[in-house]
Amino acid sequence: DQQVKQNSPSLSVQEGRISILNCDYTNSMFDYFLWYKKYPAEGPTFLISISSIKDKNEDGRFTVFLNKSAKHLSLHIVPSQPGDSAVYFCAARPNTGTASKLTFGTGTRLQVTL
């Protein structure tokens, strides 16, 4: 049972445009959400997170939106840059969980083209 779903395995965006990566979850106990970025031959690196008490968190070019009623979150990257080309993982954990209890999605491969 995939509790965190990233239904788009890949996404291609032109440099300078907005990239929108989507993530859906089914477990209503999840209350903390994270995005990780992974380059080939490297481990995932933490990008941005959001608590369920918020609906938006912004960090530079990266913004995460949370819609709890729809159990949906999205990562916006604007403007997109070629260096953003990577696999992006959405992750979530329940309010009683520790960092180790993160549940990950299958990832979306973002390609930013010139």
Partner 1 sequence: SAVISQKPSRDICQRGTSLTIQCQVDSQVTMMFWYRQQPGQSLTLIATANQGSEATYESGFVIDKFPISRPNLTFSTLTVSNMSPEDSSIYLCSVGEREKLFFGSGTQLSVL
Q: Which residues bind partner 1 (CB under 8 A)?
A: 2, 4, 32, 34, 36, 41-46, 49, 89, 91, 93, 98-107
How many C-beta atoms surround the C-beta of residue 2 within 10 A?
A: 12
Please say which residue, 102 or 112, places its beta carbon nearer to partner 1: 102
Written as one letter, the residue type at 86 is: A
d(CA 75, CA 11): 13
Please say which residue, 64 or 102, places its beta carbon nearer to partner 1: 102
Please say which residue, 65 or 104, places its beta carbon nearer to partner 1: 104
Distances from the Cα of 42 to the Cαs of 39, 47, 65, 108, in angstroms? Answer: 5, 14, 26, 16
CB of 43 to partner 1, least distance (A): 3
DSSP helix, strand, coil percent of the chain (3-state; round to 5): 5, 55, 40
CB of 22 to partner 1, least distance (A): 15
CB of 103 to partner 1, least distance (A): 8
